[in-house]
Structure 1
Amino acid sequence: MRNLLKYLVLHIVCFGCVFPLSAGEDSLAEVERATIQDEVISAFHNSMGFDYLTKEESSAINLDSILNYLESTKQYNTYFELERILIKSYLFRGEIRLAIDWSEQMYSKASALSHALGTALALNAISEVYSYTGRNQEAGSAHVQALEMFDQMSGEGIHVRMLLLELVEHNLRIRNFTEAAYFMTRLNRFPADSLSEQEQAVRHVFNAYCQLFKGSVKTARQHLDEVEHLREKLIPGIMQHFLIAEAMYWERIGEYEKSLTTYDAFLHTDYAEINSSLYKEVLQDKADLLVKMGRKEEAYKQYGLVFSYIKSSFEKNYPKEIDQLTTRFQADRLTYQNERDRLFSYRFYLGGIIVCTLVLFLFLYLSWKKIFRLQESKHSQEVMIRKAERAIQKKNMFLSNMSHEVRTPLNAIVGFSAVLASDDDSFDEESRKEFCEIIKVNSFQLLKLINDILDFSDFENDNITFNIRPYDAVKLCREASETVSASRKLEVELRYDTELSELMIDTDDARLRQVLINLLVNATKFTKEGSIVLKLELSDPNTAFFSVTDTGCGIPLEKQGLIFERFEKLNDFAQGSGLGLSICQLIVTYMRGRIWVDSNYTQGARFCFTHPLKYKSKEEDAV
């Protein structure tokens, strides 16, 4: 973004420094930030994605702070637009690893927010990352998926045009000329007066590409002539493609010297290596042209330049491509030497023997590997069969339990509802209130059963959502114990012990409350005398420790290892789905905690679990 840096320098001089990007900045700084955001996005759109941010420009505008501010203020449209530009800039600058990390992060965030534009832009960015890393099949799929999403949105014409251009380039690269022509036709439907000069120029250049691959060199020349009067205004990214298209044109009409001169003109520009992938292709095309011209000595040196460039610039990012290019380079060198000195023809025979030997070893290796895979597959099938049998048993047990658990409260609800609805006057008002209470209790029991099943299904399908925010664990524990005390007729003492006055943790208060209430309700089911104690303390400065201790019947040691399994019940005749503790474990595990039964406690049962004070996502844990 060539003019952006000058624009920034002017504002830095005027204001003394780059303005701080924080929530408390004044309205003037907000206007300056908004202006720069618009400048960056507008420049990117007007160039059809061929303009980008240099490292100096990213530092000058303090892009990280801008993104943080936009996210904190929920300006997600602008946030995802800038992330898209940042990823494209990483690709142009050859920082492929950063582009991969940011595109994955962008897609995850957009999906979590169900943000349509953000998801489409993320898919667009991912497709470009695939293209730059040579994964053409995945790139094509991501491109098409992004286009389908943009087509479903209104007012996103610029994104559709940019994506259509990328699809044309992608299909030309993989020699799928039919698809390239289809997407080019779509791009040509946009009226010229709605396009910027840069957009018009790049559309003519890519029309020329398509016509050259189709063999229509005359039409291609017409498109290139349309760009000539804009030549001085072209940004480097578009100028690259113009020079390459012109070189291809001269080559198609047999003007090899002019083609070679144009390739050299491109390779000697300051911006030749802006698009590292394109630069490598031009080096390769020039080498192929030298071979076509019969200048094999120069071609050999050019292939060496291609090899050296990829070896020095892309070794960390393209290991597979380097291996392939090394093989090709060595084969080209061997062919050249054989043509130069045919006296060494015996090397072909030696090469044949080596190849046959390698093929034999490869055949033996593949045969051994196939046998090994068959054995491994057989073992995997046996394991899966055992798992399936166990799953069927669990399912049958679950269905049996559910038929009983659902029928019992339903019978009570239906029976007592029928009594209340009847005209029988033999029941007094007190009895009717008792019947209503029974209906209420059984309704709550049925609702909890259904909620447990739905919660477990959401966890199984990875469809659960958590609302993580700071919350006082001391207050939450007190509310959970009061809820259980008020909702159940307890025959034992239920108390809450803690020495903490306040303990702020990052959690989903509803989910943590669900765990605590589940553990307390379980304790009330199996404790007929004594007490139930909910305790909160710190196990270390960064971790909260919760425990629910009762003086009930306890849990046999042989069942303590299975108690958190789905559909497992301590007492098969007690009410419940057998999912409550499984759900507790899933919630605690999601919050990066651990839950267990204290096997050292023998006066009843004690359930313990930990919860970190600061929540870290899976991505943060991986870092």
Structure 2
Amino acid sequence: MNRFLKHIVLCVCGLWLIHPAWAGERRKITWPETVLQEEIIQSFRNSLGFTYLPEKGKTQKDIDSLLFVWEGEKQYDSYFELRRIAIKSKALRGETRLAIAESDRMYSKAVALDHSLGRALALNVIGEVYALTGRDQEAGDAYKKALTLFDTLKVDPALIKILLVELTEYYLHINYPTGAGECIERLNKMPLGASLETEQAIRYIFNAYYEISKGDVSAAKQYLDKVSSFVSVLPPAVLRHFFIVEAMYLTKVGLQEQALESYEQFFKTKDIYNNHALYVIALKNKADLYRVMGRKEEAYEQYNAIYAYIKSTFEKNYPKEIDQLTTRFQAEQLAYQNERDRHLSMRYYTIGIILCVVLLLVFSFFSWKKIFRLRLSKRKLEVMTRKAENAIKRKNLFLSNMSHEVRTPLNAIVGFSGLLASEDMDLDAASEKEYCEIIKVNSQQLLNLVNDILDFSDFEGENIKFNIRQSDAVKICKDVIETIRASYQLQVELSFITELSELFLDTDDARLRQVLINLLVNATKFTKEGSIVLKLEISPEDEEMALFSVTDTGCGIPLEKQKLIFERFEKLNDFVQGSGLGLSICQLIVKHIQGRLWVDPHYMQGARFCFTHPLKYKSPL
């Protein structure tokens, strides 16, 4: 009994030491194996999938070891690409049973690991297996899904090129030139890889194949001529495709004997059985060529050879496995479709929610906009109400002022006119002259009042017109000073100061005189002693402007009223004769000629009014 237990323990220990996985650790990959793996993958990519692994030998054993170690190290990108190469090599060699089983396991493993690149590579190799076994519909679906995944993952362009070549071959096989043309066009636009000559030759070969399918043999001939310069350096797998396409072209142009020679060259290439499907196609094409040439016995023998080869090496190997693979793939397709429908439904729900939110936001925006407009209308109504109230107040103030301003000169005119007209009054010449002077002064005041009202009405109705022409401002100022001196009995000194001999500017002579007279007359009303000075100079701030100022030594203007005196019907002293429109009219005139009128707040010895006037008038139009 003890000897039996001892043998068991020794066997278990031996197995433990023999198999690394049972010992709790996996063998680490070595540097030579890494180099070998890189060489296999790069060779496959550079040849666009035309470099296959040999059937036997050290390389195949190394591949199995690499797959085992890479899986243990969880290097799944390299694992799945290397496995795809191994499965395709088996499929092309006619090992259909193994290729079907391994592609099934590869796809299941990629789905279980949720490895997108692995799933895309598995779909690619499944498409190849389907194409080699005559399942054209399933092959097309697998190829298209693989290309979609490659485009989504943004993989190495070499993988996409390989798939485009396979898709082109598939479309040409099912006689769908449009699909083949799209793949060829996309392949032609992609940059060449590391193996320039091989890749360029492959592109030329498949372009020629495509042109033959369209019936354009001249274009096919041009591509085949280009390949001729690369024939000596092409690998056997690519050469076989060249000979097949060349034979097809020669058959199309009627050079049947030369086409047979191309087929013979095909059968003389190295490792001819590495691509089982292409070998069968070459046999069939050669048999068809014999039949077309009338060599029926040779054609019959060729057909028998094809049948025997297929029956012995291919058909018996795959029916059960390919049906299992199809069932599994269809189940995966159904699961994928259900997942896609679920995502599509979620997308629709999300879009619906977003649309509802957008509609709610739009509704809220328009509601807010309507409320805003209502509030704005309410504010405008309040502003208009205030303006109307202010207008009524100003109207009442205006009527009050006018009743006072008009009544005073009218009373004087009526009273003294009555005295002059009375027969009971015995007036001497001096008294009559004095009464006439009083009537004249009050009549002038009444006329000025009416003129101010008319001017202001013209400005309000925008009916005022200016006659702009060039005038000498110095001369205008001197004339205005003389007019004021002649018209008013002044108790103060009135003077004009300027360093300019003349100053020509574009202005309305009459309106400029009106502004200056109004400012000087206002100064005379509030200045009982001292002086009134009119000054003209070039503005120190702008050489294109003339600066006028009227300075007096009167009672001055309080700071709080300096902004109000330019309002209509505003008067500094209600007991001083005037309509309260003079300064408003002055401001409107100065603004129209593109100047500015203001009170100097820094002058404290009285009042100083300043306004600017441009030397050159620029029309607002």
From the CA coordinates, give the structure whose radius of gyration is larger: 2
User: Which TM-score band applies after superposition, normalised by the shorter structure?
Assistant: 0.3 to 0.5
Q: TM-score under structure 2 normalisation? A: 0.46
Q: TM-score under structure 1 normalisation? A: 0.46
Higher relative contact order (CA 8 A, sep 6+): 2
